[in-house]
Homo-oligomer: A and B are copies of this chain.
Amino acid sequence: MIPLIFLFLGVLQLLPSCSGRAVCEDVGPLTTLKEIKEEIAGYQDAAKAIIDLAVCGKAQNRSFERLALFVDTVGHRLSGSKNLEKAIQIMYQNLIEDGLENVHLEPVKVPHWERGQESAVMLEPRNHPMAILGLGSSVGTPPEGIIAEVLVVSSFEELQRRAPEARGKIVVYNQPYKGYGETVQYRVQGAVEAAKVGAVASLIRSVASFSIYSPHTGMQSYQDGVPKIPTACITVEDAEMMARMASRGTKIVIQLKMEAKNYPDAESFNTVAEITGSKYPEQVVLVSGHLDSWDVGQGALDDGSGAFISWEALSLIKDLGLRPKRTLRLVLWTAEEQGGVGSLQYYQLHKGSISNFSLVMESDLGNFMPTGVGFTGSDKARAIIKEVMNLLQPINITQVLGNGEGTDINYWIQAGVPGASLMDDLNRYFSFHHSQGDTMTALDPTQMNYSAAVWAVVSYVIADLDEMLPR
């Protein structure tokens, strides 16, 4: 999942990361920056060692192979499912066997929703079974399904304009893809807006940058006081076809059947492991991804790869015998897809020590070839991150982009802790995201090596600097 706060990242990424201001003016006395530069330059050998180990050394392809074994064994891992329980137990063992420290599980109550069987068949103008994926938290239909005429709209504005036509109908949203952040609002709010004008169900064009007739699922939200209607994503292809049919004045009738059901919350866990700091063990650089996934594909990309390159970062540092001054803490979140449930509880439990968090990091946007890190923090902190990224010149991944984001780290970022996220080709990411195509085939071992190298260098150096990142 991608947080709503992340709505306009696509746009922000295009902006120069420092808004055109000279960096030196913002980091205080030049001597200070000079000192930090010199200190960071001292990590060139360590960075080189990490890169070598990850990219062409013994650890080459390790994160890919570990992940492949994991997802081939467990499959997808929806919040509340037995698969997720099994996944957490396997990861717990993996982290202990890897020799990491303070490996433990922190209990969390998580949502439990199951899609069951589901189908949508166009009955008019011709018989056409459609691929669908019900949306997380959606209610089901009666067992006999819902048969209704369709109203196709391309925006919420069109729905408002044509509100009198919506009563008793299935609203089909054929919104164009304008980047995930903007377009995902149709998936999240489509059912509520359709129900407000009397629709009996809503079918939403999948939020995807490219499609081979692939439906994409994801979370949706009901609203108090608005009837809960069943809601699912259809393919880009069927949404466009129905828009064409409607534009010709053709009547469309669909039968929708969904067994989707919400169950009482289930037990789950955030999974934690550390390399304890040598000098300031109470201070933390948090490195993270989420272990849960949607109930389609293998959850390899979202967010198996983010979780496993985060683990790999600690493995690389440990294998090199490095121990930073501060604690490097790996957290593999649970129930991220349901809105950051595991990470919210973690924040509430640990925010008392927020002054000890130097940097929070999350990789949840794919692990193709990294383009850099997104970063949110003060200009002083950004200048330091830029220096650290310069250590990655040997692999030419040095950009610090506009925004550090992630459902699971946003609580901390909003409270003032600097945050970093790993960035790559988002168009590629949103071709597979939340679809059956989220499998190992979408990933590449070499690209994961580079991702892990970036993640390890940044986390290690920030954890080992004399000072915490300024806020």
Contacts and interface: CB of A to CB of B under 8 A. Distances in A.
Contacts of A437: 211-214, 237
Interface in A426-446: 431-432, 435-437, 439-441
Nearest to A242: B72
Interface string A401-443: 0000000000000000000000000000001100111011100
A68 interface: yes
A72 B213 contact: no
A105 interface: no
A350 interface: no
Interface in A206-229: 210-214
Interface stretch (A14-22, A29-37, A123-131): A123-131
* Copies of this chain assembled into the complex: 2
Contact of A212 (B248, B298, B436, B440): B436
Interface in A178-215: 210-214
Interface in A325-373: none
Q: Which of A126, A240, A241 has the most CB of B within 10 A?
A: A241
A441 B240 contact: yes
A244 interface: yes
Given A214-B212, A214-B213, A241 B131 contact: no
B75 A440 contact: no
B237 A126 contact: no
Pick the 8 closest A-B CB pairs, nearest first: A212-B437, A213-B436, A237-B439, A212-B214, A213-B437, A237-B441, A212-B212, A240-B441
13 contacts: A212-B214, A212-B431, A212-B432, A212-B435, A213-B439, A214-B214, A236-B441, A237-B436, A237-B437, A237-B440, A240-B441, A241-B298, A244-B440
Given A212-B212, A237-B440, A244-B440, 19 more contacts: A72-B241, A73-B125, A73-B126, A75-B126, A131-B436, A211-B212, A211-B437, A212-B214, A212-B435, A213-B214, A213-B297, A213-B439, A214-B437, A237-B297, A237-B436, A237-B437, A240-B441, A241-B298, A241-B440
